[in-house]
């Protein structure tokens, strides 16, 4: 065997999308410039293919899709099921001798082609794929794989019109449009995956669609601790700070996990509070037990009318009596202005920003084009940065730091780093003592240093117990935190007893742990 052959890595597995089973074979040979992602989808014989084309036409004439079903992304699953049932019935009527698996295959293919994104649906069902990129019809589709990085697939687009049609279909689902006059699109799929699309002539090589996939099972703080993304000590500190309404900015590079961290930390919100999120594109996902109102901006029409921007939504949100406000990713001065205006209204605010370190994040906020004045920056007490190791692909909380106000209003605030990730040991290390958060707790809660340390220790016990018992669903983790905020003693008794009630022993509405009797 040659040295080149020895260096080749391969992986094979199956995927299921719309009841169709496809196979994936990944070949990553160091002799090649880029690895390959080969998707094999079952084909149709010529007779079935001819029948398939006729069936598409008949389906379009028979199926009755209401405007609400077409435009409401929340009804996408119901519409697919309605379409699948009708197509299956028509297939069985016309070709009675087909097996159930053959009927299922034809029906699934119709769903993918007429309501989905064709073979792209298989890529979206691959849990190991983080990004799906259509760059032009002249190139194959690219994917970013968790294990192999960027790979070139064998999935292709027939022409530029097909890409445009897919982008238009996605846009209509969220009440937007992509045209020559509005050639840029930020949207999301019914699965929550984020979509960006561009069309000619803005993207001169061809129309593009980029899908950033989100985990089908939402991450929880239990998952983050178990895979060493964050430590128990840091988690307990952030939990305490958030309980007493400290605002936090999450920063990090592209795909570092900023939004995932924001979603994870949202479980620390008290269950009896009202949360409003304001975003350009829906990315935040919060537990169902929270009173959460997601707001999304609306782009102007081709005539320049009907725009609702982030500032409009912020003004409106203040009339909704929110306890917590989430402002999505900060890219421009407008978003930053929204963030700090919300903080100044006395609300707890949480947001994300592209920056590798806390110092870099502070410089970005204080420099053009955002250029916030020092007095505004000082209103933000805490910053957290996420890090993605480009070699290994691991993600870690990199730094946690406080923003320390300057003695002069004309000088920018400084940063006090409290925790920092040590790559040599792959552990979070405490590098400084809190002054601002501890000071805030002492002032507004009358807690002493000993009270704070005891509370952090208690929360560490609870977090360790969650990891030990593998309680990692958003709902169950959130219920533990919610119960602790209302009756801490019962939760601590359960944790210290080490007991756990399994789901089959629970009664409806009961917590996922034994509330010590």
pLDDT at 6 exceeding the cut of 70: no
Q: What is the pLDDT of residue 507?
A: 42
At 278 the three-state DSSP class reads: strand
Average pLDDT over residues 481-507: 75
CA distance 228 to 207: 40
Q: What is the pLDDT of residue 391?
A: 76
- The reply to whether omega before 434 is within 30° of 0 (cis) is no
Query: Which helix (H) or strand (E) segment is 376 a member of?
Result: helix 374-377
SS (H, E, C) 203-230: CCCCCEEEEECCCCCCCCHHHHHHCCCC
Unique residue bearing structure tokens 């160091």: 30
pLDDT at 506 exceeding the cut of 50: no
Are the C-beta atoms of residues 178 and 197 closer than 8 Å to each other?
Answer: yes
Closest by alpha carbon to 135, among 113, 152, 112?
Answer: 152
CA distance 202 to 184: 8
Q: What is the pLDDT of residue 7?
A: 63
Unique residue bearing structure tokens 């080749």: 8
Bridge partners, residue 277, by sequence? 294, 326
CA dist 89 → 59, 70, 107, 417 (Å): 11, 22, 9, 63
| DSSP 3-state percent helix, strand, coil across the chain (nearest 5) | 40, 25, 40
DSSP state of 284: -
* Lowest mean per-residue pLDDT among 315-319, 396-400, 425-429: 315-319
CA distance 265 to 218: 12
For 98, phi then psi, to 5°, come to: -70, 145
pLDDT at 497 exceeding the cut of 60: yes
CA distance 293 to 295: 6
Q: What is the pLDDT of residue 104?
A: 84
CA distance 44 to 49: 6
Give the model's confidence band at 73: pLDDT under 50 very low, under 70 low, under 90 confident, else very high. low
Q: What is the pLDDT of residue 181?
A: 85
At 287 the three-state DSSP class reads: coil
Q: What is the pLDDT of residue 1?
A: 42
More confident residue, 335 or 71: 335
Residue 478 CB neighbour total at 10 angstroms: 23
Cα three-residue angle 287-288-290, rounded to 5 degrees:
75
Is 517 exposed, middle or buried (CB count within 10 Å of its CB: 0-12, 13-18, 19+)? exposed
Closest by alpha carbon to 377, among 391, 392, 393, 364?
Answer: 364
pLDDT at 345 exceeding the cut of 80: no
More confident residue, 283 or 193: 193
SS (H, E, C) 157-208: CCCHHHHHHHHHHHHHHCCCCCCCCCCEEEEECCCCCEEEEECCCCCCCCCE
pLDDT at 446 exceeding the cut of 80: yes
Q: What is the pLDDT of residue 76?
A: 66
CA distance 478 to 334: 32
Q: What is the pLDDT of residue 285?
A: 77
CA distance 86 to 64: 10
* Lowest mean per-residue pLDDT among 95-99, 122-126, 143-147: 95-99
Is 77 exposed, middle or buried (CB count within 10 Å of its CB: 0-12, 13-18, 19+)? exposed
Q: What predicted TM-score, i.e. pTM, was given to this entire model? A: 0.77
CA distance 293 to 272: 14
* Lowest mean per-residue pLDDT among 45-54, 431-440, 459-468: 45-54
Percent of the chain with pLDDT over 90: 50
For residue range 367-392, list pLDDT tens digits in order: 988 999 888 899 999 999 999 987 77
Q: What is the pLDDT of residue 340?
A: 87
Give the model's confidence band at 501: pLDDT under 50 very low, under 70 low, under 90 confident, else very high. very low
Strand pairing class (9-17; 184-188)? unpaired
Half-sphere exposure of 238 (CA within 13 A, CB side): 29
For residue range 279-310, list pLDDT tens digits in order: 877 778 787 878 999 998 887 766 777 888 88
Are the C-beta atoms of residues 412 and 421 closer than 8 Å to each other?
Answer: no
pLDDT at 69 exceeding the cut of 70: no
Average pLDDT over residues 191-208: 91
Give the model's confidence band at 344: pLDDT under 50 very low, under 70 low, under 90 confident, else very high. confident
Region class of 175: left (phi > 0), else alpha (psi between -120 and 50), else beta? left
pLDDT at 517 exceeding the cut of 60: no
Are the C-beta atoms of residues 163 and 141 closer than 8 Å to each other?
Answer: no
Query: Which helix (H) or strand (E) segment is 103 a member of?
Result: helix 100-115
User: Over the chain, what is the mean pLDDT?
Assistant: 86
Unique residue bearing structure tokens 């594109």: 281
* Lowest mean per-residue pLDDT among 61-65, 243-247, 490-494: 61-65
pLDDT at 121 exceeding the cut of 90: yes
Q: What is the pLDDT of residue 61?
A: 73
The dihedral over CA atoms of 360, 361, 367, 371, expressed in degrees to the nearest 10, equals: -170
Give the model's confidence band at 505: pLDDT under 50 very low, under 70 low, under 90 confident, else very high. very low
Q: What is the pLDDT of residue 56?
A: 76
For residue range 404-444, list pLDDT tens digits in order: 998 777 788 999 999 999 999 999 999 999 999 999 999 99
Percent of the chain with pLDDT over 70: 91
């Amino acid at each position: 065997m040659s040295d080149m052959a020895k260096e080749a890595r391969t992986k094979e597995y199956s995927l299921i999308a719309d009841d169709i089973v496809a196979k994936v074979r990944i070949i990553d040979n160091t002799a090649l410039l880029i690895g390959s992602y080969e998707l094999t989808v079952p084909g149709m014989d010529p007779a079935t293919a001819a029948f398939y084309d006729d069936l598409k036409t008949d389906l379009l004439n028979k199926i009755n899709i209401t405007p609400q079903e077409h435009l409401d992304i929340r009804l996408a699953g119901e519409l697919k099921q309605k379409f699948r049932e009708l197509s299956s019935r028509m297939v069985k009527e016309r070709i009675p001798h087909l097996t159930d698996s053959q009927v299922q295959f034809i029906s699934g293919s119709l769903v993918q082609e007429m309501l989905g994104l064709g073979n792209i649906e298989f890529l979206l069902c691959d849990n190991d794929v983080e990004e799906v990129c259509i760059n032009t019809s002249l190139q194959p589709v690219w994917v970013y794989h968790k294990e192999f990085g960027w790979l070139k697939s064998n999935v292709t687009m027939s022409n530029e019109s097909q890409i445009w049609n897919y982008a238009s279909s996605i846009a209509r689902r969220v009440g937007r449009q992509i045209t020559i006059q509005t050639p840029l699109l930020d949207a999301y799929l019914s699965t929550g995956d984020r979509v960006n699309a561009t069309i000619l002539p803005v993207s001169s090589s061809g129309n593009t669609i980029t899908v950033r996939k989100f985990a089908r099972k939402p991450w929880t703080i239990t998952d983050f601790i178990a895979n060493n993304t964050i430590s128990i000590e840091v988690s307990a500190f952030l939990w305490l700070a958030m309980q007493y309404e400290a605002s936090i900015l999450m920063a990090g590079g592209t795909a570092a996990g900023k939004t995932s961290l924001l979603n994870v930390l949202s479980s620390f919100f008290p269950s009896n509070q009202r949360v409003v999120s304001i975003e350009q594109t829906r990315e935040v996902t919060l537990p169902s037990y929270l009173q959460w109102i997601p707001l999304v901006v609306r782009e102007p029409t081709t005539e320049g009318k009907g725009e609702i921007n982030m500032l409009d939504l912020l003004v409106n949100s203040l009339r909704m009596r929110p306890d917590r406000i989430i402002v999505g990713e900060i890219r421009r001065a407008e978003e930053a202005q929204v963030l700090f205006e919300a903080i100044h209204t006395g609300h707890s605010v949480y947001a994300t920003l592209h920056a590798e370190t806390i110092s870099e994040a502070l410089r970005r906020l204080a420099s053009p084009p955002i250029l916030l004045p020092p007095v505004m920056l000082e209103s933000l007490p805490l910053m957290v940065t996420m890090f993605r190791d480009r070699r290994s692909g691991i993600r870690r909380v990199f730094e946690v730091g406080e923003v320390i106000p300057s003695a002069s209003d004309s000088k920018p605030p400084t940063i006090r780093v409290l925790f920092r990730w040590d790559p040599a040991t792959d552990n979070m290390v405490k590098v400084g003592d809190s002054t601002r958060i501890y000071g805030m707790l002492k002032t507004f809660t009358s807690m002493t240093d000993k009270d704070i340390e005891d509370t952090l220790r208690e929360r560490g016990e609870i977090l360790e117990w969650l990891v030990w018992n593998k309680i990692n669903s958003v709902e169950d983790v959130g219920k533990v935190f919610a119960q602790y905020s209302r009756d801490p003693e019962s939760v601590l008794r359960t944790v210290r007893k080490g007991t756990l009630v399994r789901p089959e022993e629970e009664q409806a509405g009961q917590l996922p742990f034994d509330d010590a009797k």
